[in-house]
Amino acid sequence: MADDSSTRFNSIEPYKEKKGEEYMNENQIEHFTVILNNWKDELMHEVDRTVHHMKDDAANFPDPADRASQEEEFSLELRTRDRERKLIKKIDKTLEEISSGDYGYCETCGIEIGIRRLEARPTATQCIDCKSLDEIREKQIRG
């Protein structure tokens, strides 16, 4: 669920650029703000659901196998929620970039990230070229 674009984008149509339209204009900023806020709300809902589920379903099973199964289930849910917590922080950072006027520009080279890339990954901070170079460097370092 942490990065399931099918749920968060179903209700929001992809942005259709108009010919000659300025990059990161008010309409585009509003579009991505809505996407990010909806995504964050969805993640927060999942966190609440997990808390309620763990409270409601927590049981002290006498059978060690049942107890182990429940602990494994809770552990998996908590790992998922931890990834989502990190994603919420990233969304918050992205919303700050929108407020400061830095959103949509590569943090490495400064060029436009591009509407299509931002539609696919609204929290992207690099253009595709810089991201690809970083991934190549990372693979070389790891061997």
pLDDT score of 110: 96
83: amino acid identity, one letter = R
pLDDT score of 109: 97
Alpha carbon distance 19, 64 (integer Å): 65
- Please tell me whether residue 90 adopts helix, strand or coil conformation: helix
Splitting the chain (143 residues) into consecutive groups of 10 residues, what average pLDDT does each group show?
46 89 97 97 87 70 78 85 93 98 97 96 97 95 85
Q: Is the dihedral of CA 27, 116, 12, 8 positive or negative?
A: negative
Task: Please state which CATH class domain 1-7+21-103 belongs to.
Answer: mainly alpha
pLDDT score of 5: 43
Length of the chain: 143
Alpha carbon distance 86, 19 (integer Å): 37
Q: What does the radius of gyration of the chain's CA atoms come to, in whole angstroms?
A: 19
pLDDT score of 97: 97
Domain with CATH 1.20.120.910 in the chain: 1-7+21-103
Closest Cα partner for 15 from 2, 34, 29, 31? 31
pLDDT score of 81: 86
- pTM score, whole prediction: 0.79
Q: How far is CA 86 from the centre of its chain?
A: 9
Only one residue has tokens 């196998």, namely: 65
Alpha carbon distance 61, 78 (integer Å): 20
